Amino acid sequence: MASTLEEIAELSGVSRSTVSRVVNNDPRVSEATRELVLEVVRKEGYRPNLAARGLALGRSNVIAAVIPVGFENVLSDPYFPSLLQGMASAADTNDHFLMLSLGEPGFRHTVDEIARQGVVAGVIFSASKVDDPLLERLVATGTPVVSVGRPYDERVSYVDIDNRGSARQMTTQLLRLGYRRVALIAGPSFAPAAVDRSDGYADALSGFGLRVDENLIYEGDFSEASGRAGMRTLLEHRPDAVFSASDRMAAGALNEIRSAGLRIPEDIALVGFDDMPLAAEMEPPLTTVRQRPHQLGAAAATLLLDLLADPTGSPKRVILPTELIVRASCGSQLNQETLSR
């Protein structure tokens, strides 16, 4: 039950320093004493005290995940849990811990305070809106930050998926199948991911020599309700296919289409984005773009740890691949196809 360096030193008949070296894999220690000390360490179940280590080192091995989960509806799919799981997993394998901060306004301890307190070595920011002031403050104070999803500020490193390319490919898929009045249920314009997906949609249209028809675009907020409302509006303009920027909005759209007595995909094709678990269960199963929040979270944590190890470099970016998942809702059973980048 010995739990300090001092005690281990006593038990193995060496000095504190030597034990410290052994614990930290310092090469400057003879193989013999290393073995000896390690034995005692194992036997006593010794673990270094992280507070003390953090104090001595001037840095901690705790990273914070900041998620401003203001909207209830953001919680309705396993995206954030998976993201967190990925971050926790990556942090763990790198001997770091994950601290959680739900950026609810009204929280007393804002993240920048936390960062300054030395508890946290770096921060992973997620679901930030465009031009988030909190993110700005963090950058200003020099706290290492990684954003999940492209941030407004060019200086911050981030991990993301290729939203624009994926949306383009999905829309192109619809166009290839012959649909010509492809509507878009977009995400909220304050979300970079939503903007990128809308851009990808436009890219695809112009790639086919088609012009963007504002009547065929509705801006939702990623919620199922907004998807349904959007679909109601769009139906007036007779689209033959709909690309929803999220599966949850697609679910709402699906309900509306059904209520209107239309069939999917015979009367109107429907595709989504995210491949949340529900997508495969829908009637008909939803064609969509698969992203892997778990990997995204893991990549974010890893990137942050890289930054911590080498604070000098310029902002880094990691773009994770997505997959086009073709199911019945788009009126085709083409083979599954992988978006490379």
Partner DNA sequence: TTGTACGCGTTATCAG
Partner DNA sequence: CTGATAACGCGTACAA
Pick one of 11, 14, 40, 84: the residue that binds a second copy (CB under 8 A). 84
Nearer to a second copy (CB atom), residue 52 or residue 334 = 52
Give the range of 5-13, 61-69, 92-100, 309-317 binding DNA by CB under 7 A. 5-13
Q: Which residues of 39-73 are buried (b: 16+ CB within 10 A; e: fewer)?
A: ebbeeeebeeeeeeebeeeeebbbbbbbbbeeeee
- Examine residue 134 and tell whether it contacts DNA (CB under 7 A): no
Residues in Cβ contact with 205 at an 8 Å cutoff, skipping those fewer than 6 apart = 171, 175, 182, 211, 212
73 closest CA partner among 228, 294, 192: 228
Q: Give the interface segment with DNA, choosing from 28-36, 139-147, 180-188, 251-259 (CB under 7 A).
A: 28-36
What distance in Å separates the CA atoms of residue 32 and residue 52, rounded to the nearest whole number?
28
- If the CB atoms of residues 51 and 334 are measured against a second copy, the closer one turns out to be 51
Please count the residues of this chain forming the interface with a second copy, following the rule CB under 8 A: 50
> What part of residues 26-55 is at the interface with a second copy (CB under 8 A)?
45, 47-52, 54-55
Compute the distance between CA of residue 147 and CA of residue 144 in angstroms, rounded to an integer: 10
Pick from 198, 195, 194, 200: nearest CA to 214: 198
**212: amino acid identity, one letter:** V
Is 237 a binding residue for DNA by CB under 7 A? The answer is no
Question: Sign of dihedral through CA atoms 152, 153, 159, 165?
Answer: positive
Q: Binding to a second copy (CB under 8 A): which residues in 116-155?
A: 116-119
Q: Does 18 bind DNA (CB under 7 A)?
A: yes
- 6 touches a second copy by CB under 8 A: no
d(CA 127, CA 115): 19
Q: Is 288 in the site for a second copy (CB under 8 A)?
A: no
Contact residues for a second copy, defined by CB under 8 A: 3, 45, 47-52, 54-55, 60, 62, 65, 69, 72-73, 75-78, 80-82, 84-85, 88-89, 92-93, 95, 97-102, 104, 107-109, 113-114, 116-119, 224, 277-278, 281
| Residues of this chain that bind DNA (CB under 7 A) | 3-6, 13-18, 20-21, 23-24, 27-30, 32-34, 46-49, 52-53, 55-58
